[in-house]
Structure 1
Amino acid sequence: MTRKSQLPPKLPRPPGRWPLQDAKARFSELVRRVRSEGPQLVTVHGRDEVVVVAADEFRRLKGERTGRALVDALQASPYRDVDIEPRRGQMPVRDVDL
């Protein structure tokens, strides 16, 4: 009679961490948890690979593409009144025969 080896009990995963295979198999639950608990981390071979976040949170983090933040930062700069116009030098002009 051969003896069957018993697998050790599966350890519970930390909250908010999903092995890729679990994330694929239980994608609906993953999405529900993103909405209720916040960002969820997906791992591949035990390494952190991606974070799943809600669309609203992604848009907030990504920011708008209007450039408004850059304009606001430049206007708030203490160096706002510094003239950064480059000096223009006289360029020599060549005679051309037509």
Structure 2
Amino acid sequence: MTAWQVQEAKQRFSEVLREATTDGPQIITRHGEEVAVVLSIDSYHQLASPRVELADYLLHGPVTQHLEIERDRTPMREAELGELV
């Protein structure tokens, strides 16, 4: 990420925008302190989009839409656990 002082960012705003779209977020500083970030619109949409819980994605995601899952209804077998000491 490139850091720009406010005055420099004002003077070279087109370059700040170009670098935000090609090189990633651009930090704007005032008196040496980070005060803002310029993002590409794609980065913004990615950050602003609602997060999907893993369980919801696994249950309703694109991969599971075409799966036909059938429960195995055969009786369970007995397991020998041995003697507990």
Q: Shorter-chain TM-score category?
A: 0.5 to 0.7
Q: Report sequence identity in percent.
A: 37
Note the C-alpha offset of 1:35.
1.4
Please tell me whether residue 69 in structure 1 is matched to residue 52 in structure 2.
Answer: yes
Structure 2 unaligned regions, length at least 5: 60-85
Greater percentage in helix: 2
How far apart, in 2, do the equivalents of 1:50 and 1:23 lie? Answer: 11
* Greater relative contact order (CA < 8 Å, ≥ 6 in sequence): 2
Greater gyration radius = 1
Cα RMSD after superposing both structures: 2.2
Where does residue 86 of structure 1 map in the other structure?
none
How far apart, in 2, do the equivalents of 1:56 and 1:50 lie? Answer: 17
TM-score (norm 1): 0.51
**Matched length:** 57
Structure 1 unaligned regions, length at least 5: 1-14, 76-98
